[in-house]
């Protein structure tokens, strides 16, 4: 299965409406002479490891960054984290679970959020291909190029695939849109053939 990511807008559970949180229950009418002039605006505070912070607009994280949940169908490992952090437009990255992280885009207007999301997927795909390409080390260049060509074509059409590169350079292909019993059985045959005859086995699950 190909590595995929999808995004969902992050909603601040503590401050979905900054004006109501910043000055809860206070409505000052400057023309109302019956209201004491010393009336003070109330502000909500939260306790953090750095002490109490007021929930003013300049201290609310969602006012500083454009936050999005990022969901994956693969483990967010250290190398995946490092790749994402290098993508232009990524200002913050917090990993919550093996399949979920929160990314923050700057609100400067210099980066387009949708393009940054696309670049994250592209960077992860490139990393996946780099991992696969390491399995081609030592193969004749003509065979390696052929494997990459076949891989890229099949990867664009199918979710799950495997390539068995035999010692003579011949390439056996297995592809399916879902992993079922038939796919797993054929993949096991590829694994057995590699153990017996040698060669390289490259799969979409690298």
Q: What is the pLDDT of residue 155?
A: 86
State the Cα–Cα distance between residues 33 and 25, nearest whole angstrom. 19
Q: What is the pLDDT of residue 20?
A: 39
Q: What angle do CA 72, 76, 79 make, to 5 degrees?
A: 135
Of residues 89 and 159, the one with the higher pLDDT is: 89
Question: Does the structure show a pLDDT above 80 at 1?
Answer: no
Are 172 and 83 in the same domain?
A: no
Are 125 and 141 in the same domain?
A: no
Q: What is the pLDDT of residue 36?
A: 47
**Residues contacting residue 1 through CB under 8 Å, at least 6 positions apart:** 73, 159, 160, 179, 204, 205
Are 9 and 56 in the same domain?
A: yes
Are 62 and 90 in the same domain?
A: yes
Domain end call among 69, 101, 129 = 129
| For range 78-107, the mean pLDDT | 94
Question: Does the structure show a pLDDT above 90 at 60?
Answer: no
Which tokens belong to 103?
A: 């990314």
pTM for this predicted structure: 0.57
Question: Does the structure show a pLDDT above 90 at 82?
Answer: yes
Question: Does the structure show a pLDDT above 50 at 18?
Answer: no
Q: Which domain holds residue 176?
A: 135-203
């Amino acid at each position: 299965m190909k590595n995929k990511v999808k995004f969902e807008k992050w909603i601040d559970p503590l401050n979905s409406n900054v004006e109501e949180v910043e000055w809860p229950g206070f409505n000052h009418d400057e023309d109302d002479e019956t209201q004491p002039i010393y009336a003070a605006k109330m502000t909500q505070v939260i306790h953090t490891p750095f002490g109490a912070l007021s929930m003013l607009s300049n201290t609310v994280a969602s006012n500083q960054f454009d936050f999005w949940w990022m969901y994956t169908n693969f483990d967010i490992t250290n190398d995946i984290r490092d790749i994402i952090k290098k993508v232009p437009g990524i200002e913050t990255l917090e990993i919550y679970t093996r399949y979920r992280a929160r990314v923050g885009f700057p609100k400067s207007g210099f980066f387009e959020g949708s393009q940054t999301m696309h670049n994250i997927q592209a960077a992860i795909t490139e990393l996946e291909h780099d991992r696969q390409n390491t399995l081609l080390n030592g193969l004749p260049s003509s065979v390696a190029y052929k494997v990459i060509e076949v891989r890229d074509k099949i990867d664009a059409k199918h979710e799950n695939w495997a390539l068995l590169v035999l010692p003579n350079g011949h390439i056996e292909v297995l592809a399916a849109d879902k992993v079922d019993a038939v796919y797993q059985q054929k993949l096991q045959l590829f694994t057995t053939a590699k153990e017996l005859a040698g060669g390289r086995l490259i799969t979409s699950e690298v």
